[in-house]
Every structure is written in C-alpha cells, then in structure tokens.
Structure 1
Amino acid sequence: MAEEASGPTLLSGRQYEVKTMKKKMGGPLEGPPSELIDKAIAALDDWRGETLTRIRKLIHEADPDVVEAWKWGVPVWSHDGIVCTGETYKAAVKTTFPMGASMEDPAGLFNSSLEGATRRAIDFHQGEAIDEAAFKALIRAAVALNVSKR
C-alpha cells in the first residue's frame, strides 16, 4: 500500500531563501528596486549583507550606467540586458551571469554553475577576499556582450 505524502511542501533552497527574505524584510516587497535592495541588505545582519553591499558597489564602479531591478526575489543589475543577479544563501552570496559561458574569465572567478551551457556564477563565501579588478572586468565584459547583441 502506497503511503500518501502529507505535511508541509518542501521548498528548494532558493525558494526557502526568498521566503525567509520576504519575512525579514517585513512582508510584501514593493517600492523602487534600489530601496528593495537596500532592505534586503539591511535584513542580512551578517557577513552576507556586507558582501552584497561590496558587490553592489563594485558593479556600480565598473558600470556607472547599470540599472538596478528586483526580480525573482533578488537584486538584478542590467545594462542592455541582465549583467548579473545577487542571490544570498546561508553559506554564500552568489552572482549569476546569465551569459557567463560566453565570457572570458582569465582570473578564473567563475566557480559555480559551470556545467550549464549559458550561465556561470561566482559563489562568495565568508572570509574570502574579492578580486575587485577581476570582478569589475567580468562586469564590463558582461555589459560589452549585452551591447554587442543589441
């Protein structure tokens, strides 16, 4: 006799993190994207908030024309298309580059989502230094790739 599943629906790690973030941010996520990103960072009262703040600053330094958005429960930075997203997990802050597989990565920053045909990601862990010059170069490369596809 087959046993019926009961109880709460299991959430994926990403779904759990988004649900937790909504709760920490105080309910519905409404308002200008930059304010939502500010709220998300403030809700992360540990190393992840500091890391996401640093990543955000580096993105703006690399491309002053980048546009911030809030999609899928995470910060998104765009310039003629998505440049990258900023996702937070318990053990990492992840920046996902949707066209990362088409980009050069001479410093070898991509360390996640390497098996995919299009995207690549960087997982930043607690205590790790960020290679700022290499990260900015990836941001500029993503922008250049987006512009070239217009």
Structure 2
Amino acid sequence: MAGAGKTPVLLSGGNPQIAKGDGDAPVQAYIEAMPGWKSDLGRRLDELIVRTTPDLKKAVRWNSPFYAVDGKGWFLSFHVFTRFVKVTFLQGRSLNPLPPGGTARSGEARWIDLHEADMLDEEQMAAWIRQAAALPGWVP
C-alpha cells in the first residue's frame, strides 16, 4: 500500500491499490492513481455520477470506487484493466437499454467496457446512472 506522499502501487492491469475507505478522498486518490488516459475518464465518470445522483455516498472497496445512494445500497463501481475501464451497474439487468456486458454467471450485474478510443456517451451513461441509483442497491 502507498503511504503518505507515495505513489500507489498499480496491480495487475494497472488497477491502483488504494486502501479501503469511505468518502470522496479515497475515491479521488484512486482516480488520481489511474494510469494515463484512464485517470481523465475516471474524473469524467465521477463528475457525471455526482451530477446525476442526489444523496450520493462514495467508497473504495476491493481496489475499486463504489457509489451508493444513502440508505439504498451500492449501485455502481468501476475498475481499471489493461486496455479498458469497466463500469459495472450492480443491478444492471434492470436497466433500459441493457448495458452490453454480461454473462450467464453475472447475476444481476451488467457493465460497459470503455477503451481509450471510445467516445463516452454521457447522455446514455447518465440515463443508466439515474436508473441504477433509483433501484434498491447491493448491501454487503
């Protein structure tokens, strides 16, 4: 783990190793440590989530930022991989249109993988965020 003033360790695929923590500070530390273009994408995602979600709660769990609506549970997380950032909607099977990522073993979760050359469709992402935030979230 990174100590005060040290750069966080990047795990497999470039995912930042950030200590578990609640609030905006650990999420911002994660975003700052995302390598290359992924940090800009992380900032854009975080800003979009904040803009579209009232009563938002943030945390870092399992080396990923998680977002919740206070009292409703976690609805979204994102995670760095070598070539993309995966944005996961924890109750994604209930979203319309259905996010493209998912397998038979995914349960309710659905995701979208965002690559460097992809244009972030902020309108569609905001619609998914609003829908996901309105659903009962995941409570560990």
The TM-score, its normalising length taken from structure 1, stands at 0.73
Structure 1: gaps of 5 or more residues:
1-14
Task: Determine which structure has greater relative contact order: mean sequence separation of CA pairs < 8 Å that are 6+ residues apart, divided by chain length.
Answer: 2
Cα shift at 1:87: 0.6
2:101 counterpart letter in structure 1? S
Match 2:82 to one of 69, 79, 90: 90
Instruction: Please state if 1:38 is matched with 2:33.
Output: no
Q: Deviations over 1:28-66 (max 9, x none)?
A: x26553211211122124111111110111111111321
CA distance in 2: counterparts of 1:31 and 1:77, whole angstroms: 12
CA distance in 1: counterparts of 2:121 and 2:90, whole angstroms: 20
2:100 counterpart letter in structure 1? N
CA contact (8 A) 1:114 1:121 kept: no
Structure 2: gaps of 5 or more residues:
1-10
Match 2:94 to one of 102, 106, 127: 102
Identity among equivalent positions (%) equals 25
Aligned residues: 124
Post-superposition, which runs of at least 4 consecutive aligned residues in structure 1 deviate over 6 A? none
2:77 counterpart letter in structure 1? T
